[in-house]
Amino acid sequence: MIRKFISRLLGRKPSGPCVIPHARHGIRREAVSNGSRRVVETLQDNGYQAFVVGGAVRDLLAGIRPKDFDVATSATPEQVRQCFRRARIIGRRFQIVHVTMGQETVEVTTFRGHHGQQDTPRAQTDDQGRVLRDNVFGSQKEDAARRDFTVNALYYDPVTETVTDYHQGLADLERKTLRMIGHPATRYREDPVRMLRAVRLAAKLDFSIDAETLRPLGELAGLIENVPPSRLFDEMLKLLSSGHALKCLRSLRAEGLHHGLLPLLDVIVEQPQGERFVTLALENTDRRVREGRPISPGFLFATLLWNEVLIQWEALKAGGERPLPAFYQAMDEVLGAQAEKLAITRRVASDIKDIWALQPRFETRSGKRPHGMLEKPRFKAGLDFLLMRAESGEVDAALAQWWSDFLDADGETRAAMLLAQAPDTQKKRRRRKRKPAADATDAVEAAEATDSASAATAAATECP
């Protein structure tokens, strides 16, 4: 009786959702994007249920600007497609519709069924409980139940300005708590990526993870290994580009989740040298994201895996391999080991290699090479990488400074810089050859006359 009374007071039908009015939640319809609003209105005009859902509602309530606005509806993908002029069905695990509204593309998803119930077919799972296929349509209530966290299961209707809440998501949001819907361990088994999402969203929202939701993480961390590598790569990239990468990686480590992600990350973060470097790289990335500047996945993964390359390189050299072949072999081995777990795309892998391959070459500061270096496609990224290595104390700061100066210098200064770095024997020979020229300025001019200091050095070497 009392419960019924409270439910009525909260606008909740017995065993139904809570329908929260604007006065309580505060989201104005202007806060959602034009495109998503028009999509919802059109679907409702056609007799379907439709709401803005998921991360957008959560972020609006938390005072964060949403990345995008997704819509959930009772219409099937085909019915959605028929409501709009520019709509495309995208089919992967579950069909969704991309509706284009002006510049905006709105992702529209049909309510998903809560598999495993009596009147719906059981979702196909692997022997660890991971859901392989779950393409069953359902009601809004079922759709809410199969979302991951309570704060992600809120449905906003811009027409009535109400929020529909089946799992007390609004209360959790106000308590700044991330809580799994249903039985946490089962939900993680169904989809181990939810463990990574828990860590990422808690960091992004600055929420704590509810104790029951947190508890299974340590025990189930190993299930991440079953996640297809391409999905893991996408999720890892989301995490690293969230603007809270450092915090996320620290939580992953605390929960023992980092092993399955980047198998070598545990080695990296446990080495003092590596830790400093990875921390700097992540701080740098987070700063860039927060300032709205682009980040390069290649650069990011290159930093995370660098220490492992160094370890492998040293081991190969100690085994008698020559330095450069050993370096290339170390690069391939490290990337190969990651590829098994994390489908690093070919383009990203090639960027990583380009950045790494420049590093030993930075050691050469005389001859023709430095000029050639400036022409390399990833030179700037390679130099940023070198600067970070210097900042972490791995290489001499003077080396990184020299390259920064070399990049900024004009031709004359570059030639002088190269000459200053040339081995003494070369300098002596050079001086002998240019006997009448008394000072350094003459030497630089001579170098310039042959277009580069390296060419001048080469010429000097040939002199009797």
Q: How far is CA 243 from the centre of its chain?
A: 9
Q: Which of 148, 210, 351, 384 binds ligand ATP (CB under 6 A)?
A: 148
C-beta of 51 vs 362, nearer to Mg ion: 51
Taking CB under 5 A as the rule, does residue 55 contact Mg ion?
yes
274 binds Mg ion (CB under 5 A): no
119 catalytic per annotation: no
Tokens 């106000």 belong to: 174
Distance of closest approach, residue 24 Cβ to ligand ATP, in angstroms: 21
Point out the catalytic residue in the list 68, 234, 266, 354: 68
Nearest to 187, CA basis, from 206, 158, 215? 215
Q: Which is nearer to Mg ion, 112 or 341 (CB)?
A: 112
The 52-71 site mask, x for binding ligand ATP (CB under 6 A), equals --xx-----------x--x-
User: Left if phi > 0, otherwise alpha if psi is -120 to 50, otherwise beta: which for 208?
Assistant: beta
Residue among 206 and 283 whose Cβ is closer to Mg ion: 206
The one catalytic residue among 143, 148, 191, 286? 148
- Nearest by Cα to 56 from 36, 26, 84, 40: 36
- Smallest gap from Cβ 393 to ligand ATP, in A, equals 35
Q: For residue 351, indicate whether it is catalytic.
A: no
| Region near ligand ATP per CB under 6 A, out of 188-196, 294-302, 359-367, 385-393 | 188-196
Q: Would you count residue 194 as binding ligand ATP (CB under 6 A)? A: yes
Q: CB-based contacts of 334: which residues, under 8 Å, 6+ apart?
A: 264, 305, 308, 309, 312
* Distances from the Cα of 113 to the Cα of 37, 91, 238, 414, 427, angstroms: 24, 17, 27, 67, 78
68 part of the active site: yes
Report the residue number, 152 or 454, with the smaller CB distance to ligand ATP: 152
Among 73, 152, 338, 392, binds ligand ATP (CB under 6 A): 152
Residues 8/1, Cβ–Cβ less than 8 Å: no
- Spatial distance between the Cα atoms of 160 and 15, rounded to a whole number of angstroms: 22
Q: Which stretch binds ligand ATP (CB under 6 A): 1-9, 146-154, 255-263, 286-294?
A: 146-154
Candidates 47-55, 110-118, 153-161, 259-267; binding stretch for Mg ion (CB under 5 A): 47-55
Q: Which is nearer to ligand ATP, 114 or 430 (CB)?
A: 114
Taking CA 17 as the corner, what is the angle to CA 185 and CA 161, rounded to the nearest 5 degrees? 120
**Residue ranges in 191-293 assigned as alpha helix (H):** 193-205, 211-214, 216-220, 229-240, 245-254, 258-261, 265-270, 272-290
Q: Kindly list the catalytic residues.
A: 68, 70, 148
